[in-house]
Structure 1
Amino acid sequence: MIKKWKKLTLVASLAVLWNVYPIQAVQAEQLKVSGNTLHEWNNGAKVDASVDNKGSIQIKTSTQGLKKGNYSAYVYELQNRDWSGYGALTFSIRNESDQKLPLNIVLTRSDKLSLTVSDNRNVIVVEKATGQAELVRPVSGLIELEPGFVGQIRIPFSSLMVKNKANTTGQVSLGKVIGWGITTTTPENAKLSFRIGNIKPLSRKQAVAENGLTTLQMTGDERVVKPVTGESTVQYGVQSALEETPDVKFQLDTPVQGVSITPDGLLTVHTDADAERATIRALVNGKWRLTTIVILDRSSAMNVQENDGTPRSIPDPSEGTKVLSPADPLMKTSVGWFIWLLLTAAGIHGLILYWLWKRQRKASGAIKRRSREDRQARRPFRM
């Protein structure tokens, strides 16, 4: 009876541990940010940062009235933390600007090296309204969010590199971090306003899926020529540094006349395509989205010109009369018919004259023959 009671107690204890500790292990702890630990840096831009009672950070920058150029602003928190057990950082963000919000994240280690997201790796951008997760790569070191964007950004640590050292991409470890922050870069006469909050580092176990997505990228031509005749076709695909082959389905983001793509990524452009671009979307494993914009170029054959500047191309039907009715009167259709009739009549006339001449020649030869025969008939018989 005692043994049975001990067994029940042990099972109950294990059940409690199973229910409590796994939850604590996977729960991400929100970073507590205060105005005392928040700092600002800029190279000319005006920066205003504040923290509300919920720990959200309101950031406003302005380059109004500054000389032509690019200006950066950096809002960061100085706080010693051990991030060796983390695999990603997530935060909510709201773009209250009237323009795109260009930003990146910077993590500073205890050895004073700064880590940032590489242009060759993905971050995950989740729009709150749709819940769709987009894999996005920075362009020139900046992730762009559309005006009015509200959602979440997830930064897998496998997408980080040592600042200005692209060869360290995916090879850095965090360890002790003394600070983290958000950096923006804008040209002159620009104003930004955005809010970030719910800032949480994720454990490596929680961030396994995100870190497996950082190398995914779409393959295929960035520019496709619109055909003059027939059709243009290009094959698109998705590749990854991982050995596992993802399940991918392709589609156009919005319908485009004369352009289509099959679920396996074969893009076809027909002669009636009039748009200048088409957006291709790939759905990876039914959840993650990759997007690329394809530029649709006019055929270079349509741009070739003669030495005098005349286009050397297939004329539009409305221009057909210009080709068939040039300014030179000798090239008019009516003049051509007249010349053809004149030459035909001259040819027939020549044939008639030749026939009469030949007939007259035959008649003359017959008369001469008869005359010769008559003379021979009148001659006396000779022995």
Structure 2
Amino acid sequence: MNSSHSFLKVVISLVAVTMVSFAIVNATYALSIKSTVFSPTILKVYTNGVDVNQKEWGPTHYVANLGTTEQKNKKKYYTASFYENRTRNMTSFGGMILNFSNPNKSTIRFNFSLNDGSKKIWKVGNQQFVAFKEKKDKYWESSQAEYGAISIPKGFDGQIYIPFSSLNKEQNKLNLSNIKSWGVSFTLNANQQRRVIFGDFSLVNKRFSFKANKILDQLIIGDDFVQIPVAQSSIAEYTIRSAYKGQPKPVFKMASDLSGVSISKRGTLSISKPIKPQTIRILALSPDGSRSSKAIHLYESWTAHRKASDGVPYKIPNVNQVKSPMHVDSFLVNNRFMHWMRVAIVSTMIILTLIYFWCRRMTIKRYHN
């Protein structure tokens, strides 16, 4: 009796340990980036065609309305920069965190820079990462700079983490011991209005920054532009580029559901039907709960709305729009009709085969008699 009780206890213990181990392995945790708050001197403003209307001004909280008008030089882009002009030693730090809100109805193009006294101004480079964390969310989401800026989505309200390693991808090393100035900049098009709210700056210790970078520096690699199919479907492949080996592979998913558009866990994006041109976002979810995101611009084919001189559209028709060159009754090519025809033919062959063997057997029997 005691032995059976002991055996039962062992079984229960093994089951409990297995369940706990399974829970630990499959649990996700929210990455916490520890930082040290600092108060800079009041930021100065530099613009090249952007009107800045200061609403609230520092030293730790900034609100401004930015606007551009059509300029005589007709530049494509205009920039407003907010910077601290003070020498600092940042060798103990590996990144900066700041609060940011985008109350606008569209994205804001943003960048961060350091000036170490050399001729080069260090900015977040293309294909380098930063991370966002919404106030309502506990997970960080990585994103990459494209076309010289970081796109902050509309409605974003939270923190932005800028690793200094994303500024330092060339042979020349960034000298953090002699930072002459640092700042944030916003890029606008002509005749564009934006409201920016940012502040609450903090610096991330190098050790904590290295730990965060190891988890967050995973970027989605693949096409930025994908054509909407004119017939059949469009397919694009995406992979993950990790700066550190041995990291668990993330799985892909859509940031939001969209009819006709899907992505497999391994990163195959499929567009199965014509949809409106738009920008979509895909996510790569890591087991630790962190995410990477990428914006993909869906565009129409040049043939979508064009016609030849005789009025015939260039657009390739779908299969169901192509008329058959053979004038065959639809009933005769119906799937159900074809199925029953196959059944009838097979049944007839079986019956004829059975009749053949029966006749052969009767012939042999008569011969012997």
Structure 2 counterparts to residues 292-331 of structure 1, below 5 A = 292-294=294-296, 310-311=312-313, 313-314=316-317
Q: Does 1:183 align with 2:185?
A: yes
Post-superposition CA distance 1:273-299 (Å, at most 9, x none): 646565422112342222234556778
How far residue 267 of structure 1 moved from its aligned partner, in angstroms, is 3.7
Post-superposition CA distance 1:196-221 (Å, at most 9, x none): 22101111011123333565222345
Aligned in 2, Cα 1:86/1:49: closer, same or farther, shift over 3 Å? farther
Structure 1: how far apart are the matches of 2:55 and 2:219? 37
Structure 2: how far apart are the matches of 1:232 and 1:63? 38
Q: Does 1:123 align with 2:125?
A: no
Match of 1:160 in 2: 167
Query: With CA pairs under 8 Å and 6+ residues apart, which has the higher RCO, 1 or 2?
Result: 2
Structure 2 counterparts to residues 126-205 of structure 1, below 5 A = 126-161=133-168, 167-168=170-171, 171-205=173-207
Q: Does 1:42 align with 2:44?
A: no
Q: Which amino acid aligns with 1:239?
A: R
Aligned in 2, Cα 1:42/1:324: closer, same or farther, shift over 3 Å? same
How far residue 305 of structure 1 moved from its aligned partner, in angstroms, is 8.3
Structure 2: how far apart are the matches of 1:308 and 1:95? 50
How far residue 314 of structure 1 moved from its aligned partner, in angstroms, is 4.5
Aligned residues: 290
Match of 1:216 in 2: 218
Q: Which amino acid aligns with 1:188?
A: A
RMSD: 3.8
Aligned in 2, Cα 1:100/1:252: closer, same or farther, shift over 3 Å? closer
Give the TM-score, by structure 1 length.
Answer: 0.63
Match of 2:107 in 1: 100
Structure 2 counterparts to residues 206-355 of structure 1, below 5 A = 206-212=208-214, 215-221=217-223, 222-223=225-226, 226=229, 228=231, 234-270=236-272, 272=273, 274=275, 276=277, 279-294=281-296, 310-311=312-313, 313-314=316-317
How far residue 65 of structure 1 moved from its aligned partner, in angstroms, is 5.7
How far residue 179 of structure 1 moved from its aligned partner, in angstroms, is 1.5
Q: Which amino acid aligns with 1:149?
A: F
Q: Partner of 2:211: helix, strand, or coil?
A: helix
Bigger Rg, structure 1 or 2: 1
How far residue 75 of structure 1 moved from its aligned partner, in angstroms, is 1.5
| Unmatched tracts of structure 1, length 5 or more | 1-25, 326-383
The one of 74, 86, 90 aligned to 2:93: 86
Structure 2: how far apart are the matches of 1:86 and 1:153? 16
Contact 1:157 1:211 in 2 (8 A): no
Contact 1:99 1:192 in 2 (8 A): no
Q: Does 1:56 align with 2:61?
A: yes
Q: Partner of 1:206: helix, strand, or coil?
A: helix
Q: Partner of 1:58: helix, strand, or coil?
A: strand
Structure 1: how far apart are the matches of 2:287 and 2:227? 27
Aligned in 2, Cα 1:29/1:99: closer, same or farther, shift over 3 Å? same
Q: Partner of 2:147: helix, strand, or coil?
A: coil
Q: Partner of 1:207: helix, strand, or coil?
A: helix
Which deviates more from structure 2 when the two are superposed, residues 118-127 or residues 275-284?
Answer: 275-284
Match of 1:10 in 2: none
Provide the identity percentage.
22
Match of 2:366 in 1: none
Q: Partner of 2:244: helix, strand, or coil?
A: coil
| Unmatched tracts of structure 2, length 5 or more | 1-32, 328-369
Aligned in 2, Cα 1:214/1:116: closer, same or farther, shift over 3 Å? farther
Give the TM-score, by structure 2 length.
Answer: 0.65
Which deviates more from structure 2 when the two are superposed, residues 261-270 or residues 175-184?
Answer: 261-270
Structure 2: how far apart are the matches of 1:302 and 1:184? 35
Q: Which amino acid aligns with 1:46?
A: D
Post-superposition CA distance 1:357-376 (Å, at most 9, x none): xxxxxxxxxxxxxxxxxxxx
Aligned in 2, Cα 1:302/1:82: closer, same or farther, shift over 3 Å? closer
Structure 2: how far apart are the matches of 1:220 and 1:44? 34
Which deviates more from structure 2 when the two are superposed, residues 130-139 or residues 201-210?
Answer: 130-139
Post-superposition CA distance 1:303-362 (Å, at most 9, x none): 9988956358547868969x999xxxxxxxxxxxxxxxxxxxxxxxxxxxxxxxxxxxxx
Aligned in 2, Cα 1:242/1:186: closer, same or farther, shift over 3 Å? same
